[in-house]
Structure 1
Amino acid sequence: MKKDMIFKELIQLDWEVKDQGEFFDKMVDKLYALGYVKDTYKEAIKTREANYPTALPVEPFPVAIPHADMIHIIKPFIACTRLKNPVDWCEMANNDVIHPVKFVFMLGFMKSDEHIDLLQVLVENFQDPALMDRLVHAKTEDEYYEIVCGMKGMEI
Structure 2
Amino acid sequence: MTEKMKLQDYITPKLIFVNEHFDSKGALFQKIYQESLDSGYVHKSFLEKIIEREKNFPTGLQLETMGVAIPHTDAECIKKEFVAIVTTDPVTFVSMEDFNQSVAAEIAFVLGLKEPHAQLEMLQSLMGLLQNSKVLTQMREAGSADDIITIVKTNNI
| Structure 2 portions without partners, runs of 5+ | none
C-alpha contact (below 8 Å) 1:41/1:73 kept by paired residues: yes
Aligned pair count? 152
- Matched to 1:51, the amino acid is N
User: What is the rounded CA distance, in whole Å, between the counterparts of 2:148 and 2:41 in structure 1?
Assistant: 21
Which string of whole-angstrom CA distances, capped at 9 and with x for unpartnered residues, describes residues 73-130 of structure 1?
00000001101x1011101142211010010000011112111121112122112121
- Matched to 2:66, the amino acid is F
| 2:83 equivalent among 62, 74, 78 | 78
Deviation at 1:34, TM superposition (A): 0.7
Cα distance, 1:105–1:95 mapped onto 2, change above 3 Å: same
Q: 5 Å matches for 1:89-108?
A: 89-108=93-112
Greater fraction of residues in strand: 1
Q: Does 1:140 align with 2:147?
A: no
C-alpha contact (below 8 Å) 1:125/1:151 kept by paired residues: no
User: What is the rounded CA distance, in whole Å, between the counterparts of 2:65 and 2:97 in structure 1?
Assistant: 20
Alignment RMSD (CA, Å) = 1.3
What is the TM-score when the length of structure 1 is the normalising length? Answer: 0.91
Q: Which residue of 2 aligns with 1:29?
A: 34
What is the TM-score when the length of structure 2 is the normalising length? Answer: 0.91
User: What is the rounded CA distance, in whole Å, between the counterparts of 2:42 and 2:153 in structure 1?
Assistant: 22
| Structure 1 portions without partners, runs of 5+ | none
C-alpha contact (below 8 Å) 1:44/1:68 kept by paired residues: yes
Q: Which residue of 2 aligns with 1:53?
A: 58
- Matched to 2:20, the amino acid is W
Using the aligned pairs only, state the percent identity: 30
